[in-house]
């Protein structure tokens, strides 16, 4: 992936290094600029009543999406991480954010029936087993026409799939073999060029 201009270029490595520096309201977001742009369009399209985000980290992305929900005038975001996570204090002040710190396996799905439109984002460990378990646990709650977004399938292009036991892309392939309620939404994957996204084949749309 190259763009040439006056004998200079940027490539996947430079984008990857830069995405670690992305912030929102001064809070680390760690988001690819391409996907950062896509998220606001998807949230406007779906108009979710609830976003479930697996993987909080510092929470810049959480704040960004919460503000997008505020602009929509509806919705809340449940951000899930583990007890030792040290999220930014601004998350605790935002009226549309609820923080859960017992891991996604312990997240109670019983209250989800009260939400009409649900969007899921998996941005946790990127380990194949965790990705697949998250898909099986949360995919039934995604609303028809909404998305389960599996982040960071880019690890394969970075030649890091072994450390993630195949990572997100392996989980997606296995999940789709057994579940025809979802399809890969290529319009988002290919918005800036074929799979010019860190979420390679990761925009999974619920179609039935």
| Predicted local distance difference test score (pLDDT) of residue 1 | 47
The answer to whether 29 touches 53, Cβ cutoff 8 Å, is no
Q: Which is nearest to 142 in space by CA: 191, 179, 195?
A: 179
Average pLDDT over residues 91-117: 98
For residue 76, what is the DSSP state? E
Task: Render pLDDT for 6-62 as a digit per residue (tens, 0 to 9).
Answer: 545 668 888 888 888 899 999 999 999 899 999 999 999 999 999 999 999 999 999
CA distance 77 to 198: 22
| Predicted local distance difference test score (pLDDT) of residue 10 | 66
Helices (H) and strands (E) in the chain, counts: 6, 11
The answer to whether 169 touches 201, Cβ cutoff 8 Å, is yes
Does 2 have pLDDT greater than 60? no
Structural domains of the chain in order of their starting residue, each with its CATH number: 18-103+114-206 (3.40.50.150)
Lookup result for tokens 């988001």: 31
Token pair of 107 as six digits: 């997240």
CA distance 2 to 175: 32
Task: Render pLDDT for 139-196 as a digit per residue (tens, 0 to 9).
Answer: 999 999 999 999 999 999 999 999 999 999 999 999 999 999 999 999 999 999 999 9
Identify which has the larger pLDDT, 4 or 151: 151
Among 19-33, 77-91, 108-122, 178-192, the minimum mean pLDDT is found in: 19-33
| Predicted local distance difference test score (pLDDT) of residue 20 | 84
Token pair of 37 as six digits: 């742009």
53, 145, 181, 185 from 207: Cα distances, Å: 21, 6, 6, 10
């Amino acid at each position: 992936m190259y763009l040439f201009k006056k004998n200079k270029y940027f490539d996947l490595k430079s984008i990857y290094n830069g995405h670690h520096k992305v912030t929102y309201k001064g809070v680390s977001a760690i988001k690819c600029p391409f996907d950062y742009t896509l998220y606001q369009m998807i949230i406007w399209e779906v108009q979710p009543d609830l976003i479930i985000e697996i993987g909080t980290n510092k929470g810049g992305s959480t704040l960004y999406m919460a503000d997008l929900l505020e602009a929509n005038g509806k919705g809340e975001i449940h951000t899930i991480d583990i007890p030792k996570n040290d999220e930014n204090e601004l998350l605790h002040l935002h009226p549309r954010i609820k923080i859960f710190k017992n891991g996604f396996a312990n997240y109670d799905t019983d209250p989800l029936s009260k939400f009409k439109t649900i969007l899921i984002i998996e941005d946790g460990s990127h380990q194949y087993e965790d990705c697949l378990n998250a898909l099986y646990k949360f995919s039934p709650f995604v609303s028809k026409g909404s998305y389960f977004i599996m982040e960071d399938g880019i690890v394969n292009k970075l030649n890091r799939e072994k450390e993630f036991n195949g990572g997100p892309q392996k989980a997606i392939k296995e999940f789709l073999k057994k579940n025809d309620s979802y399809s890969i939404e290529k319009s988002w994957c290919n918005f800036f060029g074929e799979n010019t996204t860190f979420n390679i084949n990761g925009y999974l749309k619920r179609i039935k």
